[in-house]
Amino acid sequence: MSAPPNGAEPSAADLLAPWKAVDKLDAKDAALFERLMAEDAEIAHRLAAAVEERQATVDLNEALPAASAGARDALFARIEAYEASRTRRSGAGLGRWLADRLTGLSPGALAWSATAAALVIALQAGLLTQAYLGAGDARYETASDGREAAAGQTLLVGFQPSATARDIAALLAETGAEIVGGPKPGGVFVLRIAERPMPKPDLDAAVKRLQERAAVVRFVAPRGGPH
Amino acid sequence: MIEISDESLIQRIAAGDRAAMRILHGRHATRTLRFLIRLVRDESQAEDLMSDVYFDVWRQASRFEGRSSVSTWILSIARFKALSALRRRAPRPLEPEIAEAVEDDADTPEVVAQKASKADAMRRCLGRLSLEHREVIDLVYYHERSVEEASEILQIPAATVKTRMFYARKKLAELLAAAGVDRGWP
């Protein structure tokens, strides 16, 4: 088989020879190449040319520098700095986590669930009468920015759009919790569930209890720190 | 001792395992660096790009889906970084595509042929290929990528990989012929 004239389509053997040279043909093409070689002795010379090119390419690359220890150390320093920065931003990360979930809710749903919870805050602040909710002995306190920053164990909570102010107030009364902050963007509230920071198992259990109140609570997440 | 697979290392990296990252880096960094040097033709820039490549590997390990080998995935990232860097920088006056068209009075093909062996001439001509041709040549001959793997890295159909390789080799033969080395192919 002679070489294709300029402009002619390359032969199958010419197309496959480079991969034959590195033993990277799939089974079908490998069988085809073997058959073509058996039919035309010239193809062995074509393969030899590809092997020669391969060796020159390997030699060229092997003459290039290897990766340096300095570059490796710089990379790992960069990774450590990134991870340290990520840890510091964990609070902001939680915010993004919440934002991602809130994005899936319609503005109307967000508005209503936020309105119901805001009503509870107003009740906590004593702006509405206890009679509005009927009988109840929950002790409400004023929500404020100062209180939000106060010590204690807090959670970030979103309420279901279908939850009424009565539902929310009942939940708070049952759990001994109080809303101390919010609404934040997306209708998120800060809920204080204990006067002191809780051990992780207790905190996880408290989160689980709230999650089980799915008719009222849309999501709940531990707070990553003061925002 | 059983070597941990690249895929297992990636899983561990996704979980934040620095030791796994060091092993993977040790395995592939030099080949990655050489691929980058051949693409951007600047060792310092290639080293910076390699840092970017492995930083992405660290951050994106959890997104690795295993549709290709890890080494093919890394070469794909490297190529993307190199092409982005080349797009950002102004064309250099003696990029090979341009240099090919310029007569070199100091080192004519005949002189090259006289003073260099065939292998030297071959390496010299490999260095003068266009970006498109040298990347496919390197991916097949040095990085030993299959047609399918090269197709994934270059983001072109498998049939195009084959024809591009053919024309890269044809161009290499032309450069060699101009340097006085006639290989009788193609």
Examine the pLDDT at B125 and tell me if it is beyond 50. Answer: yes
Select the residue of A10, A54, A64 nearest B37 (Cβ to Cβ).
A64
If 0-12 CB within 10 Å is exposed, 13-18 middle and 19+ buried, where does residue B111 land? middle
**Residue from the list A18, A66, A78 with its beta carbon closest to the beta carbon of B51:** A78
Q: Tell me, what's the pLDDT at A149?
A: 52
CB contact under 8 A, B58 and A79: yes
Q: Which residue has the tokens 């080349």?
A: B86
User: Minimal Cα–Cα distance from B174 to chain A, Å?
Assistant: 12
Confidence at residue A96, expressed as pLDDT on a 0 to 100 scale: 54
Q: Tokens 């389509």: give the residue.
A: A9
B21 pLDDT more than 70: yes
Name chain B contacts of A72, Cβ cutoff 8 Å: 22, 25-26, 29
Q: What pLDDT does residue A203 have?
A: 86
Percent of chain B with pLDDT over 90: 73
A2 close to A42: Cβ distance less than 8 angstroms: yes
pLDDT of B39 higher than 80: yes
Least confident of A113-117, B6-10, B47-51, B157-161: A113-117
Q: What is the tens place of the pLDDT at every residue in A42-91? A: 999 999 999 999 999 999 999 999 999 999 999 999 999 998 887 766 65
Of A50, A57, A71, the CB nearest to B51: A71
Q: What is the mean pLDDT of chain B?
A: 88
What confidence score (pLDDT) does residue A225 get? Answer: 43
| More confident: B36 or A148 | B36
Say what percent of chain A tops pLDDT 90: 31
Name the residue of chain B whose CA is nearest to A25's CA: B146
Chain A residues with CB under 8 Å of B185 CB are 3, 45-46, 49
Q: Residue B89 in 3-state DSSP?
A: coil
pLDDT at residue A108 is higher than 80: no
| CA dist., res. A66 & res. A195, Å (int) | 59
Q: What is the mean pLDDT of residues B30-41?
A: 97
Preferred mutation among B21, B55, B149, B166 to probe A, highest tally of A CBs within 10 A? B166
φ, ψ at A187 (rounded to 5°): 75, 30
pTM comes to 0.62
| Strand pairing category for A178-184 and A188-194 | antiparallel
Buried b (16+ CB within 10 A) or exposed e, B19-31: ebbebbbebbbbb
Most confident stretch, A78-92, B22-36, B88-102: B22-36
Give the whole-angstrom CA distance, residue B65 versus residue B127: 35
Residue B132: the pLDDT is: 96
- Nearest Cα of chain A lies from the Cα of B93 at a distance, in angstroms, of 23
Matching residue, tokens 């890295």: B153
| Chain A residues with CB-CB distance to B166 below 8 A | 10, 14-15
Structure tokens at B8: 């297992």
**So what's the pLDDT on residue A116?**
62
Q: Would an 8 Å CB–CB cutoff place B25 in contact with chain A? A: yes
SS3 content of chain A, % helix, strand, coil (to 5): 55, 10, 30
A2-11, A132-141, A215-224, B2-11: which range is least confident on average? A132-141
Give residue B175's identity as a one-letter amino acid code. L
pLDDT for residue B96: 52
Q: What pLDDT is recorded for position A214?
A: 86
pLDDT at A127 (0 to 100): 43
What integer pLDDT is reported at residue A3 of this predicted model?
45
CA distances from B88 to A17, A83, B97 (A): 36, 29, 18
Of B77, B101, B85, which is closest to residue B174 (Cα–Cα)? B101
Q: Could A64 and B146 be called an inter-chain contact, meaning their C-beta atoms sit closer than 8 Å?
A: no
N- to C-terminal Cα separation, chain B: 46
Q: CA–CA separation, A204 vs A113, rounded Å?
A: 24
Sheet containing A178-184, strands listed edge to edge, beginning at the edge strand earlier in sequence: A178-184, A188-194, A153-159, A217-222
Vertex A197 angle, CA A194 and A200, to 5°: 105
C-beta atoms of B29 and A56 within 8 A: no
> Any CB–CB contact under 8 A between B24 and chain A?
no
Length of chain B: 186
Q: How far is B102 from chain A (nearest CA, A)?
A: 23
**Separation CA B48–CA B60 (nearest Å):** 18
**B137 reaches A (C-beta below 8 A):** yes
- Residues of B with CB below 8 A from A54's CB? 141
pLDDT of residue A131: 33
Number of A/B CB contacts below 8 angstroms equals 120
The confidence band for B63, taking pLDDT boundaries of 50, 70 and 90, is very high
pLDDT at B20 over 50: yes
Mutation target to probe the B interface, by most B beta carbons within 10 A, among A57, A68, A76 is: A57
Q: Which domains does chain B have, with CATH numbers?
A: 6-88 (1.10.1740.10), 108-178 (1.10.10.10)
**Measured between alpha carbons, how far is residue A112 from residues A35, A164, A187, A211, A220 in Å?**
74, 9, 9, 20, 18
Tell me whether strands A178-184 and A217-222 are parallel, antiparallel or unpaired. Answer: unpaired
